Each structure stands twice: as C-alpha cells, then as structure tokens.
Amino acid sequence: MKHTNTFLIGIIAAIVSLVSCSDSNGKANGYGNFEATEITVSAENNGKLMAFSLKEGDELKKEAFIGYIDTIPLSLKREQLLVSKDVIGSKSKGVLSQIAVLQAQLKTGNLNKTRVENLIKDKAGTQKQLDDVQGEIDVIKQQIRSVEIQNAPVVNELKSIDVQIKQIDDQIEKCKIINPINGTVLTKYAEPNEITAFGKPLYKIADLNNMELRVFISETQLANIKIGEEVTVKIDSHDTMKDYSGTITWIASEAEFTPKIIQTREERVALVYAVKITVKNDGSLKIGMPAEMWISSANNSKEKSN
C-alpha cells in the first residue's frame, strides 16, 4: 500500500511538471514566422554591367568585389578635364609671373623710400624725392591689384575643374560593386552586359546565420518575459518538433491587432505585442517558415499564478 501511494504521488508530480512546461492546454506561448534583415544592393551609376560574378545561393563576404559598371566614358571625361586644367594653368602661369615681377618692383620701391627717408633725416634729401618714390610704389600696388583681378576668373576656373575631377573620381569608384554584408544571395536581378541605371536593383542579400522569429503575445504574457531571456523555439521536422534555443531581443512598446495570417477570426480582434527572438540557424531555418515560442516553465507557472 505504501508503494502504491508513492507511485501515485510520482504520477501526479509528472503530470504537474508537464503542465507547467507549456501554456494552457499544451499550447505554445506564441506563434510566428522567421525573418531576416534583407538588403537590396543597387547600382550607384549608369552604364553597361561589365562584370557581375554571383548567383543565387552564394555566400558572400563583406567588402567582397562583385563586379563593375563600364568606366570608359568617365575616364575619358576625366582626361578631358585634365587637359583643360593644363591649358588654363598655362595662362595662369603667365599672369602669376607678371605679378612676381611687380612684387619685385614693389620691394625695390620700398627700399628706395627707406633710403630717401634716411636722407631727409640727415637733411640730404627733399620731400619731392620722397613723394616721387611713394607715387611709384602706389602705381605698382595698383598694377598688382589689377593683375590679381584679371587672374581671379582663371583661379576660380581651376578650382572648378578640380572639383569636377573629384566628382568623376567618386563616380568611377561607385562603378565598383562591393558587397555590403556577410550573407547569402537571395535574388539576382541583373546579368553581365545589361545596361543598368542609378538605383536599379542588382541583387538581394541577407544574413541567414542568425534568424529572427517574430511572434505575438497577449498582454497577460507580457509581464512574464523580458529582453535577453532565453526561450525555446520549435519548428515542424518530419513527424516531430525540432527545438532551438532563442533569445528575446526586442519587445514592442505598443499593442497592435493580431495579424490575421496566423490567428483565427476571434483572436484577430485582440490586442497583442510583437516580440522578436534571435535564433542561431543550423541551415534548416528559412525566411517565412512558421515556428512556435515556448516560455520556460518558471515563467508559465508565474503566469498561471497571476
């Protein structure tokens, strides 16, 4: 009789344990679908796609060189700007040399002025001599200002050409197609030798090593979970369920109506909160795949007590 009571107590304990490990009626705490951050890589320039070496399913590294857009028109334009700069620069050199001559004359004039001032102090010079020298200095300064005004458009034009060359260099650099993240190619939109344009999509890529499961929970469940908490994620696998360990990384701050794609009509009128769970992908998880979230037994027990 004593052994029978012990056996019954063991069965009751097992039943309580099973119930506490799941939600009411053995249901999961949340249902949703897997997502991944998808990036669409687009062309940053116009022209012919000279090389584009990738295919759907390829795993690419960040900063990997994927291909390039024809740069010949831009290179020719750059060469033309360099020739124009040389021509304008030669004109500028003539003007600058003229300014150098005038600067030398100005220096000589200032020396003569100092000498005359010293002569006047020694009463060996006259005021007329000083006025003549000052007049020559004023004329030279006027000539320098005149030449500088004439040279201003040339200098500004040279600066404009330098800016245009930098713009061309930037456009040439953007003709290179560089992969932005580590990930897997989901979709390819273009082929080599096609004519592309700025903003035209070339391919879509996503990091599938870590997937995000978006589920929706009720307000009563909200108090029992927190960011950083470990949960169990389950997917269908043949005739059974496959378990994964997941971490809650985001909880919505505002409620919303339950999405109709995963709930019954009655449940769609309820307000719920979206939750994101990060799960390490072993290769079996795919974008859009349905999954379940199961909260730990301790939290479920807390929820039931509330």
Measuring CA to CA, how many Å separate 23 from each of 217, 218, 229, 267, 292?
12, 12, 17, 16, 12
Using the predicted structure, report yes or no on whether residue 301 has a pLDDT greater than 90.
no
Residue 114: closest CA among 139, 141, 134: 134
| Co-location of 163 and 299 in the same domain | no
Of 173, 192, 224, which residue is a domain's last?
Answer: 173
C-alpha–C-alpha distance, residues 258 and 238, integer Å: 29
Q: Is the four-CA dihedral 16, 24, 275, 208 of positive or negative sign?
A: positive
Q: Decide: 74 and 175 in contact? Cβ < 8 Å.
A: yes
pLDDT digits (tens, 9 = 90+) for 78-95: 999 999 988 887 777 767
| pLDDT at res. 57 | 93
**Helix-strand-coil split of the chain, %, nearest 5:** 45, 30, 25
> For the chain, what is the largest distance between any 2 Cα atoms, rounded to a whole number of angstroms?
143
In sequence order, the β-bridge partners of residue 177 are 67
Residue 1 lies in a domain: no
Q: What is the DSSP letter of 287?
A: T
C-alpha–C-alpha distance, residues 41 and 52, integer Å: 12
Of 206, 227, 259, which residue is a domain's last?
Answer: 206
| pLDDT at res. 76 | 96
The Cα angle at residue 11 between residues 10 and 16, in degrees rounded to 5: 100
pLDDT digits (tens, 9 = 90+) for 93-142: 767 678 788 889 999 999 999 998 998 888 888 888 889 999 999 999 98
Strand order, beta sheet including 59-60: 38-42, 201-206, 183-188, 59-60
| Co-location of 133 and 250 in the same domain | no
pTM above 0.85, yes or no: no
pLDDT digits (tens, 9 = 90+) for 157-187: 888 999 999 999 999 999 999 999 999 999 9
Residue 218: closest CA among 264, 293, 273, 295: 273
Stretch among 65-69, 118-122, 195-199 having the lowest mean pLDDT: 118-122
| Co-location of 57 and 201 in the same domain | yes
Residue 21 lies in a domain: no
Q: What 3-state DSSP class applies to 184?
A: strand
| Co-location of 141 and 288 in the same domain | no
Residue 300, classified by CB atoms within 10 Å of its CB into exposed (0-12), middle (13-18) or buried (19+), is: buried
Residue 278 lies in a domain: yes
| pLDDT at res. 87 | 86
Residue 12 lies in a domain: no
| pLDDT at res. 221 | 84
| pLDDT at res. 19 | 36
Range of the domain at 168: 72-173
Residue 10 lies in a domain: no
| Co-location of 217 and 287 in the same domain | yes
| Co-location of 131 and 193 in the same domain | no
The Cα angle at residue 298 between residues 262 and 228, in degrees rounded to 5: 70
Greater model confidence, 197 or 94: 197
| Co-location of 113 and 52 in the same domain | no
| Co-location of 46 and 127 in the same domain | no
Q: Decide: 285 and 55 in contact? Cβ < 8 Å.
A: no
| pLDDT at res. 145 | 85
| Co-location of 258 and 231 in the same domain | yes
| Co-location of 230 and 242 in the same domain | yes
| Co-location of 288 and 269 in the same domain | yes
Write phi, then psi, for 77 (nearest 5 degrees): -65, -35
Residue 13 lies in a domain: no
Using the predicted structure, report yes or no on whether residue 232 has a pLDDT greater than 50.
yes
Q: The CATH number of the domain where 248 resides is what?
A: 2.40.30.170
Using the predicted structure, report yes or no on whether residue 49 has a pLDDT greater than 90.
yes
Q: What is the average per-residue pLDDT within 6-26?
A: 39
| Co-location of 128 and 260 in the same domain | no
Average pLDDT of every residue of the chain: 83
Q: Tally the domains of the chain.
A: 3
Task: Measure CA 26 to chain center.
Answer: 44
C-alpha–C-alpha distance, residues 149 and 160, integer Å: 17
Residue 17 lies in a domain: no
